[in-house]
Chains A and B, each alone.
Chain A
Amino acid sequence: MSKIDLNNISHTYNPNDPEPTYALNPFSMTWENGKRYAILGPSGCGKTTMLNIVSGLVRPSAGSILFDDKDVTDLKTEDRNIAQVFQFPVIYNTMTVFENLAFPLLCRDFEKDKINERVNSVAETLNLQSFLKSPARKLTADQKQLISLGRGLVREDVAAVLMDEPLTVIDPDLKFRLRRKLKEINEEFKTTLVYVTHDQNEAMTFADNIIVMSEGEVVQAGTPKELFERPNTTFVGYFIGSPAMNLFETEASSNDCVKINGTIIKTNTNLSKLKDKKIKLGIRSEFIDIAEDQKDNLLSVEVEKVEDLGNYKLLTAKMGNLKIKSKINRETVVPTSDVKLHIPAEKCCVYENNKLI
């Protein structure tokens, strides 16, 4: 278990080109010991490159990586003492579950008693005790993925467990259970877990901290709450949350107000320097509600459709050419034509050039 520092890391796969394209633009970050991190972003945004740089499978074009303040940039994967779980389960087909779990310790010349103790302890945590003597190839995909994970956990001193979309092959129900298991493991072993995914739901429910990436850039790093309530960029607002954040093209009408289709909406952002500039107002559909007793910050909209999505209703409304989505309580009776929606000022995010002000 280690603290991991990434200092000015960047990477290009064509360093000899006159104009190299960067898979990962320079960034710095610290991953605290024993926490859960998720690297989130669409395919091709540089998530796996970042993970491979940490695990040592890729050497960064620039910058350094420190494990507990020790520079490991030039160390090979096997010398970094990390564990990695891949998208598809990787097991040793010819071995039993026990032999699979014992393999990393065997390669490091551990005593037999110690190997037995560690393997049994990890097997118990992962509910694999009853399979220890079975050939690993006969297990189901999720059990195999647990073996991959177990091989990482069996080493007590492992710096971090890196996971590259490890639940892709797992059924949705099992995914949920495995994520909970991962959380329990993190709490029990205090292992730093880094989890790469393109599924925001997975990231939000798993991690203490989420690193959102787009086109090789770290666009925001923060807690799930921060990312949800105050997305740094419109990309984060759009990428995180379902449905995506409502974004309206607008302009500042006074020091803290914007005008949407002629309606003044107050925000808590100082807009004095942005008068007459094109800006965007962002608000989560979760924070928009049907106005009952509010008087300010109301938008008069025309109801387009109401979908019952089980635990909530999704209202889609129209205001001129603007579309607004709002998640409302499923008990609420929604008028079929015109309705007033309340936009709480404290939840409004204002963006200039797609960046939060």
Chain B
Amino acid sequence: MNFKQKYVFLFPGLFVLIGILIFPIIFVVRLSLSGWNSYNGLNFIGLENYIRLFTDDPRFWESFFRLSFLSVTTVILQYVIGFALAHMVWKDIKFQRFFRVLFLIPMMTTPVIMTVIWRTFFHESLGPVNDILSNFGMSPKWLTDPVLAKVTVIIVEVWQWTPFMFLLLLAGLLSLPKEPFLAAAIDGASPIRKFLYVTFPLMAPISIGAIIIRLIEASKIMDTVYVLTSGGPGTSTETSSFYIFIKGLREFQMGYAASMSFTYLIIMIISLTVIAKVLTKLMLKD
């Protein structure tokens, strides 16, 4: 059966897809081949932007590796903490419902506002964190030391997004079949063995999904950095998206920013595909 009317039904979805996804990508590609800035139009300059990016811009690559470090670290921490919390409230414990809701609260807050609050928390002279630490003779430079600034970004990101990981993993744990756990109890497995040989392998597919979703999200770290450190001190917390933002929307080098965006998109697609494959191989062994 070949109804021509089917195209009428396809059109709304296709229109939205073209409007919000395909057109912007094609536009970015075209833009990246131009020297477009605030005063001249879409003049075609060939691969000039890409040549500049690959040969003459170490700052982009530094920000990219920094981003990789930050996103991998935060996602690993989120996974470990999220799994531990989910495992805790999965079992019948007192105030189980209360804890389940409590652990979700950070996710319900507005990230930018929470980051402002965190910035106040970690403020070196006015913040309560250093106020407490000063009693022990310490006053770490949370936002102005290159290493500690990264730690601060990681803390805030982990606080904000662990609940998401917690939610996915708890849903996974609650959907697990009972029999493997009963069988392990009958076999006399200790709680550690039960976790290693039953819970963890059964959770592998859900874990992979959760990690990939969070990696995609984490690779866009921008608002936290913008509010917390503005990429500083120097460029020590500058991530790819923040650097692209500076080039495009502060310095108005639209063409160059577009070439960075497109390169970044390609790298992310390749690396996330590889990561997904490696994780599947490691965790599912099939």
Give the interface of A toward B (CB within 8 A).
55, 57, 76-78, 82-84, 86-88, 90, 92-95, 103-104, 107-108, 135, 137, 148, 151-152
Contacts and interface: CB of A to CB of B under 8 A. Distances in A.
Closest 8 CB pairs of A and B: A107-B188, A90-B183, A104-B187, A86-B179, A92-B197, A94-B201, A77-B185, A78-B188
A82 B286 contact: no
A86 B182 contact: yes
A83 B187 CA distance: 8
Interface in B217-237: none
Contacts of B180: 90
Given A88-B177, A92-B197, 7 more contacts: A76-B185, A78-B186, A87-B179, A90-B179, A94-B201, A135-B285, A137-B286
A103 B189 contact: yes
B277 interface: no
B190 A107 contact: yes
B198 interface: yes
Nearest to B180: A90
By secondary structure, the B interface counts as helix
Nearest to B183: A90
Contacts of A84: 182-183, 186
A55 B59 CA distance: 65
B193 interface: yes
Contacts of A87: 179
A95 B197 CA distance: 8
Nearest to B200: A94
A74 to B, nearest CB: 16
Interface string B159-202: 00000000000000000010110110111111001000110011
B186 A55 contact: yes
Contact of A92 (B185, B186, B190, B198): B198
Nearest to A151: B187
Contacts of B286: 137
A205 B185 CA distance: 31
Given A104-B187, A107-B190, A135-B285, A94 B179 contact: no
A179 B4 CA distance: 58
A80 to B, nearest CB: 8
A19 to B, nearest CB: 27
Contacts of B202: 93
B285 to A, nearest CB: 7
Nearest to B177: A88
Contact of B182 (A77, A108, A151): A77
A92 B188 contact: no
Contacts of A83: 186
Contacts of B197: 92, 94-95, 103
B189 A82 contact: no
Task: Give the interface size bracket for B toward A.
Answer: 10 to 19
A225 B60 CA distance: 84
Nearest to A85: B183
Contacts of A90: 179-180, 182-183
**Which has the most chain A C-beta neighbours within 10 Å: B187, B188, B190, B197?**
B187
A137 B285 CA distance: 10
A206 B214 CA distance: 53
Contact of A94 (B183, B189, B285): B285
A76 B179 CA distance: 16
14 contacts: A57-B182, A77-B186, A84-B186, A86-B179, A86-B183, A92-B197, A93-B202, A94-B285, A104-B187, A104-B188, A107-B188, A107-B190, A107-B193, A135-B285
A82 B190 CA distance: 17
Given A78-B188, A107-B193, A92 B179 contact: no
Contacts of B177: 88
Given A77-B182, A107-B193, A137-B286, A93 B188 contact: no
A144 to B, nearest CB: 12
A87 B178 CA distance: 12
Contacts of B201: 92-94
A152 B186 CA distance: 9
Nearest to A52: B182
A55 B193 CA distance: 21
Contacts of B179: 86-88, 90
A151 B182 CA distance: 13
A116 to B, nearest CB: 18
B191 to A, nearest CB: 11
A245 B188 CA distance: 46
B198 to A, nearest CB: 7
A69 B202 CA distance: 39
Contact of B187 (A55, A86, A93, A107): A107
**Which has the most chain B C-beta neighbours within 10 Å: A55, A94, A104?**
A94
Contacts of A55: 186
A83 to B, nearest CB: 6
A307 B193 CA distance: 57
Contacts of A107: 187-190, 193
Nearest to B194: A107
Nearest to B190: A107
Contact of B188 (A86, A108, A135): A108
A82 B186 contact: yes
Nearest to B181: A90
Given A93-B201, A94-B201, A148 B187 contact: no
Nearest to A135: B285
A93 B283 CA distance: 11
B205 to A, nearest CB: 11
A90 B198 CA distance: 10
A345 to B, nearest CB: 50
Contacts of A77: 182, 185-186
